[in-house]
Chains A and B, each alone.
Chain A
Amino acid sequence: MSKAFDSKQIGLFIASGIALCVLPFVVGGALGNSWVRIVDFALLYVMLALGLNIVVGFAGLLDLGFIAFYAVGAYTYALLGSPHFGIHWPFYVTIPLGALFAAFFGILLGTPVLRLKGDYLAIVTLGFGEIIRIFMNNLNAPVNITNGPQGINLIDPIRVGAADLGSPINLFGLSLPPVYLYYYLFLVLTVIVVIMASRLQHSRIGRAWVALREDQIAASAMGINIRNIKLLAFALGALSGGVAGGLFSAFQGFVSPESFSLLESIMILAMIVLGGMGNIAGVILGAVVLTIAPEILRDVIGPLQMKTMGRMLIDPENARMLLFGIAMVVMMLVRPEGMLPSKRRKAEFKDAKEAAAQKG
């Protein structure tokens, strides 16, 4: 990034900054607060997807258990900030703590699977995610730690000084409901994660990850410490997963193992793949589209059926997931490099296609 920004780019930055700042008012005014909430979730998913993108997109380590780190962050916040144990630590302690725990679990998972690649790695990480979920589901007896399938209730909202993000705040005569307040908090953190991810990508570490992804043996011959660089990818990916988890916990006020199913891991992976693996803009786009599109479908499918057929033929939830599954297949067949592919990946796909054409 040696080149200075030109005035056009600066203009674009300022414009998009302003757009992001007024977004909740536009969305909230036009569609209501429930949609602001969905936008908040989109930001959480952007953070998650960017975290997973470090592991899968940059380092090429296929991780199907990423949601476990989200869960670790969420449960850390929930246990240390709810009446469950009667502990009410402030968020600036619990969220970093949750992130650190998640990073620790990332290394814990990363160490045994250092030698694995591809599908094997996918299955083991999937198993790891399930183990974490099984423990959350069952650690309510004989000592009640996680409260089992019922989950943990009444989690503290985030409090900054005297301001409590869990209840509306009056600012210049404007009453801002919690969804707006969390939007700005999430926005700030998302921007931090985006900057972190893009700085990492263009750093020495990011180049080492690319080398690792392309050819592990060659990378190690070039003097890259494969073990450390892989563990770093797992830890940094898990770190942002953990932060997102803590925020989710505070935002939602409730966590249960159900939120951390395999399907969520797959969803986040799908965001990356559909958006354009390895490309930060693509991943953000994928996360936003895959969070918003199902919600639109939820609002559309039901009424559409009532209008055209006069009755509900397919349960909207069912139809939504079916479309999601089909979309995953179709996307892979039609445009496997994603909506906004990274330059490098695009070139790879082109090479592969040409090679296949020559062969066939």
Chain B
Amino acid sequence: MDIFFQQILNGLVLGSIYALIALGYTMVYGIMGLINFAHGEVVMIGAMVCITVVSTLMHSGVDLPGWAIVLIGTLVAIPVCALLGFVIERVAYRPLRGAQRLAPLITAIGLSISLQQIAILIWGRNYIPFPDLLNADTVSIMGASITKLQIMIVVLCLVLMIGLLVVVEKTKLGRAMRATSQNPAVAGLMGVNVNTIISATFMLGSALGAIAGVMVATNYSQAHYYMGFMIGLKAFTAAVLGGIGNLGGAVAGGILLGIIESLGAGYIGQLTGGFLGSNYQDIFAFMVLILVLIFRPSGLLGEKMADRA
């Protein structure tokens, strides 16, 4: 039972990060009907930029509390990633709008590879440790332990998700985004500048990705040029699980996937009599993805899609 609750908590932390990244995928998909394959790399760049800023600040001997340094790092990472999202859309997606579906997929993969290589150029091939700045005291809830940092991650994720929902539902920008996702041509006729809205969507999703990147880096205390691939793939799975294009679905899917994954990793040893261990954790996300796409391609909260999946 102890393991059970502990794994639920771990899953919640992991899942809220997935959800935050999944929002980036689902927003872009909602508006353009395309999967942004380079989104994982945005997350990675966010983490890397934050680490660079944090360690520069620490070496410069500024006398600030740990959380303030991380906050500054995050505040630098957000505009960098938003700009990156803007550039990705301009380079890989905009020139190919209306082209065959395969073309933007290939450009996105090409950009993804380029970004990884640029990250190697700047930060090297090794794991970069995240300085120990944040409160890692553990709190015990019902016999399971969780660090204060992890609680903060979950709370911050929730706040950001609610914030995004408010933006999409209540603001003028959000209304324009929803209009564009329903029908770009008509939205254009109604005076919505579709190009601006698409850019804004990429930037918003990338900003969330930057924050998620910082969270991953603090949670695992490290970052790596290749970290974006796996986490991006899982977040995408989360988005599909919840129903791609649906914001609430991305959140639900992310948290559910996180919990499935940690429960799976916790119990796979017992279930298979010790044959398979927790090193198979990564398989669960793919299994979930395949099962969802077979049995309910529209996802948990998605609308029925006629001829898409």
CA distance A336 to B114 in the complex (A): 19
Residues of A within 8 A of B35 (CB): 119, 123
From 219 to 269 in chain B, residues with beta carbon under 8 angstroms from any chain A beta carbon are 229, 233, 236-237, 240
A128-B98 in contact (CB<8A) = no
For residue B121, CB closer than 8 A to chain A, the reply is yes
CA distance A333 to B92 in the complex (A): 8
B286-A328 in contact (CB<8A) = no
B236-A123 in contact (CB<8A) = yes
For residue B277, CB closer than 8 A to chain A, the reply is yes
B117-A322 in contact (CB<8A) = yes
CA distance A332 to B95 in the complex (A): 10
A13-21, A74-82, A110-118 - interface stretch: A110-118
CA distance A134 to B268 in the complex (A): 15
Residues of B within 8 A of A127 (CB): 233, 237, 285-286, 289-290
The listed residue (A118, A131, A321, A327) touching B117 by CB distance below 8 A is A321
A318-B121 in contact (CB<8A) = yes
The listed residue (B101, B115, B275) touching A119 by CB distance below 8 A is B101
B100-A352 in contact (CB<8A) = yes
For residue B145, CB closer than 8 A to chain A, the reply is no
Inter-chain contact count A-B, CB under 8 Å?
A: 131
For residue A262, CB closer than 8 A to chain B, the reply is yes
B34-A325 in contact (CB<8A) = no
Residues of B within 8 A of A137 (CB): 279
Residues of A within 8 A of B276 (CB): 138
Residues of B within 8 A of A359 (CB): 98
Chain B interface SS verdict (over half): helix
For residue A62, CB closer than 8 A to chain B, the reply is yes
From 298 to 312 in chain A, residues with beta carbon under 8 angstroms from any chain B beta carbon are none
The listed residue (A119, A263, A266, A333) touching B96 by CB distance below 8 A is A333
For residue B99, CB closer than 8 A to chain A, the reply is yes
Residues of B within 8 A of A328 (CB): 106-107, 109-110, 113
Smallest Cβ-Cβ distance to B289: which chain A residue: A127
CA distance A127 to B284 in the complex (A): 10
For residue B15, CB closer than 8 A to chain A, the reply is no
Interface string of B99-125 (1 = CB under 8 A from A): 111111111011111111110110000
For residue A4, CB closer than 8 A to chain B, the reply is no
Given contacts A112-B290, A352-B100, is CB(A126)–CB(B309) below 8 Å? Answer: no
From 4 to 29 in chain A, residues with beta carbon under 8 angstroms from any chain B beta carbon are none
How many residues of chain B have a CB within 8 Å of chain A? 51
The listed residue (B103, B240, B275, B286) touching A332 by CB distance below 8 A is B103
For residue A35, CB closer than 8 A to chain B, the reply is no
Smallest Cβ-Cβ distance to A334: which chain B residue: B95
For residue A238, CB closer than 8 A to chain B, the reply is no
The listed residue (A62, A123, A263, A324) touching B102 by CB distance below 8 A is A62
Smallest Cβ-Cβ distance to B286: which chain A residue: A127
CA distance A330 to B111 in the complex (A): 10
CA distance A266 to B106 in the complex (A): 9
For residue B294, CB closer than 8 A to chain A, the reply is yes
Interface string of A123-165 (1 = CB under 8 A from B): 1101110110010011001110000000000000000000000
For residue B302, CB closer than 8 A to chain A, the reply is no
CA distance A113 to B297 in the complex (A): 11
A326-B280 in contact (CB<8A) = no
CA distance A336 to B100 in the complex (A): 9
CA distance A143 to B277 in the complex (A): 12
| CB of B186, distance to nearest CB on chain A (Å) | 15
For residue B274, CB closer than 8 A to chain A, the reply is yes
12 A-B residue pairs with Cβ-Cβ distance under 8 Å, sorted by A, are A118-B101, A123-B289, A127-B290, A131-B286, A138-B277, A142-B274, A142-B275, A321-B117, A325-B111, A329-B107, A332-B96, A333-B95
Residues of A within 8 A of B (CB): 62, 112-113, 115-120, 122-124, 126-128, 130-131, 134, 137-138, 141-143, 262-263, 266, 269-270, 273, 277, 314-315, 318-319, 321-322, 324-329, 332-333, 336, 348-349, 352, 356, 359
Q: For the A-B complex with A318-B121, A325-B116, A326-B110 known, give 9 more contacts whose Cβ atoms are closer than 8 Å.
A: A113-B293, A122-B105, A127-B286, A325-B114, A325-B117, A329-B111, A332-B96, A348-B100, A352-B99
Residues of B within 8 A of A (CB): 34-35, 91-92, 95-96, 98-107, 109-118, 120-121, 229, 233, 236-237, 240, 274-277, 279-280, 282-283, 285-287, 289-290, 293-294, 297, 308-309
